[in-house]
């Protein structure tokens, strides 16, 4: 893989074989990785909260049914 510097961009190189532009700044890639991990954590937390809320709704419905049965029975 042969790389050449992109003019006026010190952290960019072009792969002559594929024509791809690559970023050689590791801080950018680390920041992107952390951002992705944070998004995934937020998504997982939202899913957990949604599951908890749905479970509470189900349990509340069961309690209401039991109370109606006691009152009417």
Summarised one tens digit per residue, pLDDT across range 33-43 is 999 999 999 99
SS3 content of the chain, % helix, strand, coil (to 5): 65, 15, 20
Phi-psi region of 19 (alpha: psi -120 to 50; beta: other; left: phi over 0): left
Give the three-state DSSP class for 36: helix
Mean pLDDT for the chain overall: 95
pLDDT of amino acid 52: 98
Q: What's 11's DSSP letter?
A: T
- Average pLDDT of the residues in 47-60: 98
1 pLDDT tier (thresholds 50, 70, 90): confident
This prediction's pTM: 0.62
Number of domains the chain is built from: 1
Residue with tokens 């949604």: 50
| DSSP state letter for 18 | T
Residue 30's domain comprises 3-72
Rounded to an integer, the average pLDDT of 4-12 is 92
């Amino acid at each position: 893989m042969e790389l050449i510097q992109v003019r006026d961009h010190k952290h960019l190189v072009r792969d002559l074989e594929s024509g791809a532009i690559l970023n050689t700044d590791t801080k950018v890639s680390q920041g992107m990785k952390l951002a992705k991990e944070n998004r995934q954590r937020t998504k997982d937390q939202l899913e957990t909260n949604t599951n908890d809320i749905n479970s509470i709704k189900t349990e509340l419905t069961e309690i209401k049914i039991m109370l109606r049965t006691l009152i009417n029975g």
